[in-house]
Amino acid sequence: MVVPGPPTTAARVRRILGDRVTVTPSASAQAHLAAGLHRTLLLRQSGIMLVDSAGVVRYRPATALPTGSFDGPTLQAAIDRL
């Protein structure tokens, strides 16, 4: 998970999620840009990516509103297809 902001923000997210995911801070926009998440008007896009073991992206919605990038049933279906 790439968390925008300083390492202290990533540490807080890491405490919440535990060892389930890798949490990396991104003080600049470079990590977001590398993932294809750009700025829309004044908002940075948010997204969720599911990547299989071959490096193929299987799920990747993106939106300017973080809650809009999560679709539980669609994500679960993509996980089930792995």
Banded pLDDT at 75 (limits 50, 70, 90): confident
Three-state DSSP state, 50: strand
CA distance 51 to 33: 17
Number of H helices, E strands in the chain: 3, 8
For residue 26, the model assigns a pLDDT of: 81
Backbone dihedral region for residue 39 (phi beyond 0: left; psi -120 to 50: alpha; all else: beta): beta
- What DSSP designation does 38 have? -
Quote the pTM value. 0.56
> Cβ distance 69 to 61 under 8 Å?
yes
Q: Is the pLDDT of residue 68 over 70?
A: no
Q: How confident is the model at residue 27 (pLDDT cuts 50, 70, 90)?
A: confident
